[in-house]
Structure 1
């Protein structure tokens, strides 16, 4: 029962319907309007805010710690994968600007406790190799260095080694998404929340996007940018969800942690926020099967793991109040590279960022826009 105005301005036929108002979906919309300014582009989002990780991530502008890269090199062309992450971060910063993102080039540290001396030695031995491998990606400056002499200034408990990635940083994920939403509306791209897509139907040379409650939207093309949720609409896609749990403490004004920090092969991560709170997340490696879900939620083992890391390592001997807890959902797959491909006639998928959505998102959105514009 749409009014004339609703049909004309919101739910009428579109050149492209984008499903998912996260980082990939919104950047794809913006780049598509740059390339095809006369096209009608509509973004549909089932939640009040993006439902996956775009507003629920830790705000790490990172592309991999040494221990992560050691494992990831076993799965494919590591140089190309890191290059895509590094270029994606550069594209995001260029699109929105460092001031808008509150981007801070603080570097990224990987921590090793005393009992992880063997892993620390293995990673330290790979610094020169990875610096040479990534030189064509990041330029002549070295990416990684041994920063163990800085361990004392952070006040960590039981940490014997630190390796630093000089080219990583942090950003404000909330400000990032607010800016993208504002830019989308300013570019005449309606972003319609509360629009749960139930099914896609090919009709002639176009698509019908059926909403769970409401009209079907006609589209010449559809972009599926729902990452971990993609298989709900297209079960044939090789995308496995991975839930990431996060907590944030009360403000701790006497703690100073300039940087972003990775631990446990990158499965745990933390940073200090501008209001002096500590954000800490991760732990899905404790139980991959349980965390392979799109359902929001918290589990006692993961929350206890994070709190123990907080009390024993980050602020040893202290038990700050926890003011926020939440979870986000990432999309993983058999390959490290994202999936950006036509999966049905007129339906393009841009999903599976493998836990690097902040780094890859803008680049994936751009690549998707190029494919849609050229179809």
Structure 2
């Protein structure tokens, strides 16, 4: 592409801060930079038409970890590390709500419910429930996890749930739209359909090479999460999550966010529909991809569970399917670090982008002195 003098002058010259990725992390980073540097020229680069990855494709769970997930985490993390993970997620959710407002993201707190396919797993989690509640008590001042009967009449599961009274849900589209609106009103420039291919430091500047133009910036912030290994050498692997949504269901009685099979499956109500995703554990290696799309293996399993467990007595029609790309690694803690004098990154959100994205973006911007 040939850029005019005006385009080069207005968008690509004398750039102070460049953020790669216009998802939750990138936009919150840009907002925080604007607060710290009110006169700075800030540019956000996005390779998609809309925020690519997971920020506009997630299920909209305002969650911080199901009981079985936290128990699993304790196998590879200390109690202090697990507590700090939950603390970060909870603080991130509060920051998201404060930044955008509950009404603007359609935040609703209908609780979270963990469903169990086997009595063995239920009993195992039940035995550790009090210990986890005790661990989290300093943060929530009351028990997070309680037991509840199968009030929604799901089939082929244990007849009691583990309920999380603090879990909620948001409208992901409204959240992303409001965040974009807030960033644009802060005089931050967002350029879509532009992909960063490489970068290198040159004295006190960072040269950024894209598929359209090469320009320089004073500081560079990489916030590409699941796509991080295309630019960085950090411990981040892509993880595709496949999702489907039903057509509207008359008299839908299900309300809340639901976790099944250690959180590998998850579903919720939205606009009289059921949104249902997960199943990457059926083919973990194949789902370590940055390619969007669906597989018949996972989609068929989602439909099977939908019709035999979630809505066994309803005629259910699927209206739409999609996928998102998360960033995961050997540790659950997000990577927020300075890579060199002028390059920083905030990646590996571990499927908890809604919860920690705002906080990771804020912390990323705060790395600049």
TM-score under structure 1 normalisation? Answer: 0.95
Measure the CA separation in 1 of the matches of 2:108 and 2:215. 41
Per the alignment, residue 128 of structure 1 pairs with 130
Per the alignment, residue 214 of structure 2 pairs with 216
Per the alignment, residue 81 of structure 1 pairs with 85
Per the alignment, residue 362 of structure 2 pairs with 366
1:189 aligns with 2:194: no
Per the alignment, residue 205 of structure 2 pairs with 206
Measure the CA separation in 2 of the matches of 1:319 and 1:294. 34
Structure 2 runs not aligned, ≥5 long: none
Deviations 1:267-287 (A, max 9, x none): 1000010x2011000001111
What's the CA shift for 1:202? 1.3
Larger proportion of helix: 1
**Equivalent pair of 1:103/1:172 in contact (CA under 8 Å):** yes
What's the CA shift for 1:256? 1.4
1:309 aligns with 2:305: yes
**Equivalent pair of 1:57/1:328 in contact (CA under 8 Å):** yes
Deviations 1:116-163 (A, max 9, x none): 10110111122211111111222x12111001x2x1x31311232201
Q: Identify if the C-alpha distance between structure 1 residues 319 and 304 changes in structure 2 by more than 3 Å, giving closer, same or farther.
A: farther
Deviations 1:194-239 (A, max 9, x none): 11111112111210111112x21211110000001111112x2111
What's the CA shift for 1:13? 2.5
Per the alignment, residue 242 of structure 2 pairs with 245
Q: 4+ residue stretches of structure 1 with deviation over 6 A?
A: none
**Equivalent pair of 1:75/1:336 in contact (CA under 8 Å):** no
Q: How does 1:215-294 map to 2 (within 5 A)?
A: 215-234=213-232, 236-273=233-270, 275-294=271-290
Structure 1 runs not aligned, ≥5 long: none
Measure the CA separation in 2 of the matches of 1:217 and 1:177. 27
What's the CA shift for 1:319? 4.1
Equivalenced residue count is 364
Q: CA RMSD in A?
A: 1.1
Per the alignment, residue 314 of structure 2 pairs with 318
Measure the CA separation in 1 of the matches of 2:185 and 2:76. 41
Measure the CA separation in 1 of the matches of 2:12 and 2:76. 43
Per the alignment, residue 119 of structure 1 pairs with 121
TM-score under structure 2 normalisation? Answer: 0.97
